[in-house]
Amino acid sequence: MSATQPAVIVDVDPSNFETEVLQASLETPVLVDFWATWCGPCKSLGPLLEKLAGEYAGAFRLAKVDVDKNQELAAMFGIRSVPTVMLVKDGQILDGFAGALPEGALREFLGRYVQPAEPAPEAAPAAAETPEQAINRLQQAIAAEPDRAELKLELAEALMRAGQTAAAEAELEALPANLATDARAVRLRSQLELVRALEGAPSRQALEQRIAADPDDWAARELLGIRLLLEGEPAAGLEQFLTILERARDWNDGAARKRLLQAFATLDDAALVGQYRRRMASLLF
């Protein structure tokens, strides 16, 4: 950062509020975080806001206000509880929220007003981090900052990528309530349920042979669909679930619908998910 470039995160008090918030907001949106040292939710929200401020690389500034030390500023904004966050632009409050939001909701909130800065081109691409390297990095980060619950969610994801499903599940179950409903946590739970369903299951070849011998072997179709999904052939896997839904909707208490919904939660391909959601709806309604 150059000497003339303003910091993206700054502590604010009455002496610098006009400069760091009101005047600064004439050029860049300012997110004002009202927090307190005794506030539990602040300990999860604050690091997320700081992470996003760094990621957005100057697209917005984060001004942090300790309400215990700056009661005058808290009163001026009518702060009734912490954490409370206000977005200031052109000297005016545009929007805000109270309470700790998960990362996905924070990104959605910011996306209404600012976009991440374009990253500077790198001289050479960095080597991709392996799941094992990510696990080691995150475990060290958690040891240094045990209150940063979002690191534990990232660790659960890394453990899942490494195939350590039991450890991933343990980290997932230990998440605080504000992260338990995060989109990434929901995805992990769906992945874990699909992986557990394959425990002790026959091989792909054996399942295909069973279906060839009996096309109405719905148990084999369900397991084959899960295998295909987890082995990188999502469309083929979804087709197996749709076949069950079309021809035996109520089999095993509607298992095909359940598997389709789990699959949708794990897939990043919005177009593929949309296509199969429509096909599922046409069969159900």
Boundaries of every domain in the chain: 9-112, 131-198, 204-284
Tens digit of pLDDT for each residue in 67-96?
A: 999 998 888 888 999 999 999 998 888 889
pLDDT value for 126: 55
Q: Do the Cβ atoms of 160 and 192 come closer than 8 Å?
A: yes
Residue 102 pLDDT: 87
Q: Which residue has the higher pLDDT, 219 or 76?
A: 219
Look at residue 26 and tell me whether its pLDDT is greater than 60. Answer: yes
CATH code for 9-112? 3.40.30.10
What is the model's pLDDT at position 121?
55
194 pLDDT band (50/70/90 cuts)? very high
Instruction: Give me the pLDDT at residue 77, please.
Output: 85
Question: Any idea which residues carry the catalytic annotation?
Answer: 39, 42
Same fold, 9-112 and 204-284: no
CATH tag, 204-284: 1.25.40.10
User: How high does pLDDT run on average in the chain?
Assistant: 88
* pTM reported for the whole predicted model: 0.52
Q: Which CATH class is domain 131-198?
A: mainly alpha
Is pLDDT above 90 for 201? yes
Query: What is the number of residues in the chain?
Result: 285
> What tens digit of pLDDT does each residue of 107-160 get?
888 988 887 766 545 544 556 788 899 999 999 999 998 888 889 889 998 999
What are the backbone angles phi and psi of residue 97, rounded to the nearest 5°? -160, 160
